[in-house]
Amino acid sequence: MKNETSEKAALRILKEKTGVKNVYFEQLYTFDSLSRDPRGHVLTVSYFALIDRNKIQLRTGAFHNANALPSLAFDHKKIIAYALKRLGYKLEYTNLVFSLLPEKFTFGQLQNAYQIILGKKLDKRNFRKKFMALNLIKSVKAKAIDTGHRPAQFYAFISRKPLELKRFF
């Protein structure tokens, strides 16, 4: 690995473990302490990726709910807590939710993504109004596969490129 940048290494490992590539990906924080690893002075450059869960084919490891993590090595818990906080901020001034959703999705799914990451319930009507005003999505036709209730309209992002917005939530 002598000739591999930390970013390339992270992308390679992500691909190896999940089969995923071409996703939104961002450097998170560099952890650097003399004591955090018994092997001595280890420098950890951490990254996070945003992925629609359904695109992930786990080859190794397992899913964990970030709010109920098992005990982890070193200071990995701190790393994840920091990532979540940053992600919460990001969703408030970017269009990055698109990374977490399939091509075609319902307003329910969209609102749900926000609610999970922000950790709070949002008002259905207000959410729809506010999000619609951003002009990021268009309605599309798709087969309703839900069950037991009125089928939802589907939407898709007009552009799936990361974008910074004025203000969000």
Partner DNA sequence: ACAAAAGTGTTACTTCTACACCCATGG
Partner DNA sequence: CCATGGGTGTAGAAGTAACACTTTTGT
Choose the stretch contacting DNA; rule: CB under 7 A; options: 7-15, 29-37, 69-77, 101-109.
101-109
- Given candidates 53, 120, 125, 138, which one binds DNA under the rule CB under 7 A? 125
- Per CB under 8 A, 153 contacts its own copies: no
Chain-centroid distance of CA 69 in Å reads 17
In terms of CB distance, is 2 or 161 closer to its own copies? Answer: 2
Q: With binding defined as CB under 7 A, does residue 141 bind DNA?
A: no
Say which amino acid occupies 106.
T
94 binds, among DNA, its own copies, none (CB under 5 to 8 A by kind): none
- Which residues have C-beta within 8 Å of that of residue 18, sequence separation ≥ 6? 51, 56, 57, 58, 59
The residue range among 25-33, 65-73, 121-129, 139-147 that interacts with its own copies, by the rule CB under 8 A, is 25-33
User: d(Cα 146, Cα 104) in Å, to the nearest integer?
Assistant: 13
Is the distance from CB of 160 to CB of 95 less than 8 angstroms?
no
Selection from DNA, its own copies, none that 128 binds (CB < 5 to 8 A by kind) is: DNA
Task: List C-alpha distances in Å: 163 to 89, 91, 99, 115, 146.
Answer: 14, 11, 12, 20, 31
Contact yes or no for 38/31 (Cβ under 8 A): no
Number of residues that bind its own copies (CB under 8 A): 14
106 lies in the binding site for DNA (CB under 7 A) = yes
Distance CA 116, CA 119 (A): 5
5-13, 48-56, 58-66, 106-114 -> range binding its own copies (CB under 8 A): 5-13
Question: In the bound complex, what is the minimum distance in angstroms from residue 12's beta carbon to DNA?
Answer: 37
Among DNA, its own copies, none, the one that 53 touches (CB under a kind-dependent 5 to 8 A) is none
Q: Supply φ then ψ for residue 88, to 5 degrees.
A: -55, -50
Binding site for its own copies (CB under 8 A): 2-3, 5-7, 27, 29-30, 32-34, 41, 43, 45
